[in-house]
Chain A
């Protein structure tokens, strides 16, 4: 006899592990031909907040013969119990050990969760290396933003799903079921077939060779009938995309406990540091009336009291007025508040302010990202100081005393003048408060939150060197010395973590051994400051003879073969390289609304998009 309750009584927040939430999918296993465990490699509270998981859980469970269950990384106290009693991680719905599933999917949202992925495999008794997993182990598949360059995980995964999964994952499951039923299934044959489907990258089917200087020489497919580069998948018609209107309702409080209404995919802006802005192209919008209906339905199914419009740049959504008017026609009466994250300062108006504060209000945040106009032009933010101040004025006259501004330091071409510019901008916002005639009583508070720039694949800055740690620390202190006003609250991110993230973001397969050793040494929850240990990482690099600077602080040449060249995200390398050149000249590029800049993503197709017609 095993008493799960006894185990749960010894951990914090047992609600993380119980399952049984309202809205979870329970299926009769007798009709199931393909069992998925969908793993989120972080805590339950974070995983349950993820829109992508909600979507794919729903999409897979729509298939009558597929059953998808959820699982999350156990917190350290639970891990201790699992190890003590030699228990595996299990799924939430049926309590099945992960080892027993047909397919085990991991969503890869940020690089620092990689150690959690491996730790979850370890705790499930699944061999880390794909090559050591026989037919009895599940197919391990990864997806999400990090899969665009998941080379540091290449040895551990059987396959990666590149791009949007709503159609790809059911297809993948269908292939699995068909091959099992026809009797031709072996893992090897299945992966070979999967590699022929658009959007599936099987790392073991691509050989990598290296030059003497350590750079990559070539990616070579093992078979002739699989593509040389793997093109990402998109949902052509976003109006027809699956929408999770009956999500699982967590018992315990999660990070995002609200209705998330995804209004569009992609971003028209083209900021040069931003990976999401490139990999989610082409831009596709969803019809405002449809969104309103989906929101209403989700509200009736969930009873949430908040709707958050989700996209990379909410104010660029062309139907914003229609949508917000439509929502407000019923949300106020039902005590539902509306939140619009990702608002651009240049589009923030009195009207929007009123709309988001009709029931409850929260702090307003804008992201100038850089302190001076020159640097904002370098990163193609297309935002002026005047526009930032105008937006703050709107907030102040609506009764706000506090605003939050996001910045990054370490952008290419940055000088100390640009650092000072951040503090200057914060001071201008304070002055702006006192210049606002109908300002509220009290003192203003400007919070500046300053992150360290991390060059990411598929951006104009993918070739750039990251600032060294010493340089980051110097710049952080320098900025601190300028923030000598008590009305400015200065927060900055830890530079150490940014270095590790930079290494993993642009890493190649030679980092697999680093991660393997990290897992062996029990490293996990590196996205959590209390568990991230920089010295342990540096020790790993030393022990594996890997130079982190090679990945983080080295400037690449335009013709270098990059680890992610094997993936085609739609946006062309030529466009990115051109954007990089324009960045050096501090020249901006028009956004998609003003005219096509020729990024190349429109060849992937897509309805309701900004792009001009596809040339055939």
Chain B
């Protein structure tokens, strides 16, 4: 008898060391965590059965997130309310499941994502911070990898994809930027591009681990009309 399955959505955070896990590795981690927590999930039916795991909008390596989503299918009769607790017992401390529910939306409805970027560098001053907002009123080019050109790189204008950007000067040496960027399939951009652009236009070098740091944290994802997606 083929059991019936229901789709449930897990909302989770991925911070600290876990930000360095690639999407593929997150998939593997979640797979084994579900097994450890004895959450029965539907598997594919081919030669190499794998659990059906569907993630929303993967973050790139190095990006932390407070709002990641994972859809799984579990047997209809199974209770799902205690799943976050069971998973959290089996997850590394840097990944936490915060919610579970039957989803009413589809990942395709996601339009934008909001990020908090923090830049720490001795070069950060008030004047520098003030330069950021007007910067995006004209095209901002970054170098992007491509297969289309011979050099393997092309100049790419990110302004159309940056829906809003707000720079807040915290103190000398520290800057906080809140930005909403497009997250639709065709127009998704990596928030690291903004960091890249700032490095280029503000002549920042953030590679020295003794003085510089930047962090990227996804704080929210939105569907149309800037409603929070869940």
Contact = CB atoms under 8 A, between A and B. Distances in A.
A9 B195 CA distance: 13
Given A5-B215, A14-B61, A251 B25 contact: yes
A302 B32 contact: yes
B164 interface: no
B75 interface: no
Contacts, number: 95
Contacts of B33: 22, 303
B191 to A, nearest CB: 13
Contacts of B190: none
Contacts of A9: 62
Report which residue of B17, B48, B90, B94 has the largest number of chain A beta carbons within 10 angstroms of its beta carbon. Answer: B17
A18 B208 contact: no
Given A3-B212, A20-B92, A20-B93, A251 B21 contact: yes
Nearest to A12: B61
Interface residues of A, number: 36
A361 B47 contact: yes
Contact of B35 (A1, A334, A360): A334
B120 interface: yes
A494 interface: no
B49 interface: yes
Interface string A284-318: 00000000000000011111110000000000000
B1 to A, nearest CB: 14
A251 B20 contact: yes
A360 B46 CA distance: 9
B224 interface: no
Majority SS at the chain A contact face: loop
A4 B36 contact: no
Interface in A1-34: 1-10, 14-15, 18-22
A16 to B, nearest CB: 9
Contacts of A302: 32, 36
A303 B32 contact: yes
A15 B94 CA distance: 13
Nearest to B26: A251
A253 interface: yes
B31 interface: yes
A15 B25 contact: yes
B135 interface: no
B103 interface: no
Nearest to B93: A20
A249 interface: yes
A6 B207 contact: yes
A206 to B, nearest CB: 45
Interface string B198-219: 0000000011111111110000
Contacts of A18: 17, 20
Contacts of B91: 22
Given A18-B17, A251-B29, A303-B31, A359 B49 contact: yes
Contacts of B90: 22, 303
A76 interface: no
Nearest to A86: B210
Contact of A249 (B17, B32, B34): B32
Contacts of B24: 253
Contacts of A10: 207
A305 B209 contact: no
B35 to A, nearest CB: 3
Contacts of B17: 18-20, 251
Interface of B: 16-18, 20-22, 24-25, 28-29, 31-36, 43, 47-49, 51, 61-62, 90-94, 120, 206-215
23 contacts: A2-B209, A2-B210, A3-B212, A4-B209, A6-B209, A6-B212, A7-B209, A14-B61, A15-B22, A20-B17, A21-B92, A22-B33, A249-B32, A249-B92, A251-B17, A253-B25, A302-B32, A303-B31, A304-B35, A305-B35, A335-B43, A335-B51, A360-B48
Interface of A: 1-10, 14-15, 18-22, 81, 85, 249, 251-253, 257, 299-305, 334-335, 359-361
| 8 A-B pairs with the lowest CB-CB distances in the bound complex, closest first | A303-B35, A303-B32, A20-B17, A3-B213, A6-B209, A303-B36, A18-B17, A14-B20
